[in-house]
A and B are shown apart, each in its own frame.
Chain A
Amino acid sequence: MSFRPPAIAVFSSAIVAALITLTPPAQAHEYKVVDGAIAVSLTGQAGDPVNGKKTAVHRKKGNCLACHSLPIPEQQFHGEIGPDLNGVASRYSEGEIRARIVDPKLANADTIMPAFHRTEGLFRQIEKFKGKTILSAQEVEDIVAYLMTLTE
């Protein structure tokens, strides 16, 4: 059993700052890793698989197709850096998939795959991305929900 200190996702963009006046302050998303899995939704909400598919494809968001193949034949060019994600839900639990997206370095420190919901331990980030995660907690949940539809 491994335990990781809470990861604090700091939302500091002007847009989010502006939204804060309208909505409650953005949550700092803590998570607990047990046996390589994050069992609980980061937001407490279920993910939306339709949105998750879009976010996974989006080049400025998940951009998962840079490295993986997904069962989305209408998209040209699927990367071959990582394994085919078709059938991934038959191989891993939801919690394992969530941990893999939040911070794949938990499972493999040498992996090329970026941590999509981590802000600490990074070097020379472009200013506008400083303190920001690649994906928001809900975007992670949406992609988890999408990947959970990929059974074989």
Chain B
Amino acid sequence: MLHRLFILSGVAALGLVAMPPASVAGEWGAYEVGDIRSGYTYAAEETRAIQDDEFGNPGFIWVDYGEELWSDVDGAAGKSCESCHGDASAMKDGVSGMKGVATKYPVFSESMGKPINIEQQINNCRVNNMEADPYKWESKEMLSMTTYVKYQSHGMPVNVDISGAIAPFYEKGKNFYYKRRGQLDMACSNCHVDNAGNMIRANLLSQGMANGFPTYRLKWQKPGSLHRRFRGCNKQVRAKPYANGSDEYVNLEVFLTHRSNGLPIETPAVRN
């Protein structure tokens, strides 16, 4: 694109924006797979440093709280997650262990007849196996447990399978992704496919990958779920968002997480 060269030099001449991180192929290690790059590679250096600091990454407050909840007995069945699943940090084997579990989500649920994501699986266990109340979507408990479960797969590549019964739901998610919406009439792809690497006002557009969620947002001082991000990205183009956990967003999550296949799970990732 010729005009991009033009604008880059124009902007640099005005000294208005910091130059985005260089994007020489292959320089991002595990954070780059073929044409696919994690949001990490678009984040500012300081933000990446916070994520990489195991003691300074504020997302670990939620990991730690998730660990507490893991062994808390709750609900009429008198059980905790640990009662059935044992040590969460162990490789998944039968019912025990959580390491590796998050890499394959969302999965097709035979009993529901549709895909479910990790949040929904956690609530299935709370309701059916613990006889406890489901966690509210964006609650501290849900964010912490989701962060804790995903953290067990930290560094493992996302590996969502879209063959079989899940395939038509993947297609729906893909249609959502490429459909223009809202008064500003934009599709996800207009920003995250066509313009990844370009500044949109003060933000550097990434490819909008799903591998870091729930991500700790510096501007909120707390983590947010992937569906909250979907709602935000819908609202900024003045499109009506869907509910957290809606079929539309789970289908979109199937598409988007499959799009992130091969990238490492970064939870808790840190973003602006």
The yes or no verdict on A and B being binding partners is yes
Identify the closest chain A residue to B234 (Cβ): A124
B31 CB to nearest chain A CB (Å): 23
Q: Is the CB of A125 within 8 A of B238?
A: yes
Tell whether A1 is near chain B: CB-to-CB under 8 Å: no
Q: Is the CB of B14 within 8 A of A112?
A: no
User: Number of A-B pairs whose CB atoms are under 8 Å?
Assistant: 93
Q: Is the CB of B179 within 8 A of A69?
A: no
A82 contacts across to B, CB distance below 8 A: 3, 7
Q: Is the CB of A122 within 8 A of B185?
A: yes
Within 8 A of B (CB), among A56-110: 63, 65-67, 69, 73, 76-84, 86
Interface size class of B (residues with CB under 8 A): 20 to 34
Q: Is the CB of A125 within 8 A of B240?
A: yes
Identify the closest chain A residue to B194 (Cβ): A112
Q: In the complex, A132→B183 CA distance in Å?
A: 8
Q: Is the CB of B240 within 8 A of A124?
A: yes
A121 contacts across to B, CB distance below 8 A: 185
Which among B6, B16, B179, B198 is the interface contact of A81 at CB below 8 angstroms? Answer: B198
Q: Is the CB of B14 within 8 A of A79?
A: no
Within 8 A of A (CB), among B158-197: 179-186, 190-191, 194-195
Q: Is the CB of B201 within 8 A of A124?
A: no
Q: Is the CB of A84 within 8 A of B6?
A: yes
Q: Is the CB of A126 within 8 A of B186?
A: no
Q: Is the CB of A115 within 8 A of B185?
A: yes
Q: In the complex, A134→B238 CA distance in Å?
A: 10
A81-B198, A125-B183 known; A76 vs B240 contact (CB < 8 Å): no
A127 contacts across to B, CB distance below 8 A: 240
Identify the closest chain A residue to B182 (Cβ): A125
Within 8 A of A (CB), among B1-52: 3-4, 6-8, 10-11, 14, 16-17
Tell whether B200 is near chain A: CB-to-CB under 8 Å: yes
A78 contacts across to B, CB distance below 8 A: 11, 14, 16-17, 199, 201
Q: Is the CB of B181 within 8 A of A123?
A: yes
B182 CB to nearest chain A CB (Å): 6
Tell whether B95 is near chain A: CB-to-CB under 8 Å: no
A79 contacts across to B, CB distance below 8 A: 198-201
B7 contacts across to A, CB distance below 8 A: 69, 80, 82-84
Tell whether B239 is near chain A: CB-to-CB under 8 Å: yes
Which among A84, A86, A123 is the interface contact of B180 at CB below 8 angstroms? Answer: A123
A76 CB to nearest chain B CB (Å): 7
Q: In the complex, A114→B200 CA distance in Å?
A: 14
A76 contacts across to B, CB distance below 8 A: 16, 202
Q: In the complex, A114→B195 CA distance in Å?
A: 15
Q: In the complex, A122→B198 CA distance in Å?
A: 25
Q: In the complex, A62→B77 CA distance in Å?
A: 57
Q: Is the CB of B4 within 8 A of A80?
A: yes
B186 contacts across to A, CB distance below 8 A: 112, 114
A65 contacts across to B, CB distance below 8 A: 201
Q: In the complex, A108→B247 CA distance in Å?
A: 33
B interface with A by C-beta (< 8 Å):
3-4, 6-8, 10-11, 14, 16-17, 179-186, 190-191, 194-195, 198-202, 235, 238-240
A interface with B by C-beta (< 8 Å):
63, 65-67, 69, 73, 76-84, 86, 112, 114-115, 121-127, 129, 132, 134
Identify 13 new A-B residue pairs, CB closer than 8 A, beyond the known A127-B240, A134-B184. A63-B201, A66-B201, A76-B202, A77-B17, A77-B201, A79-B200, A82-B7, A86-B10, A114-B186, A125-B181, A126-B238, A132-B183, A134-B183
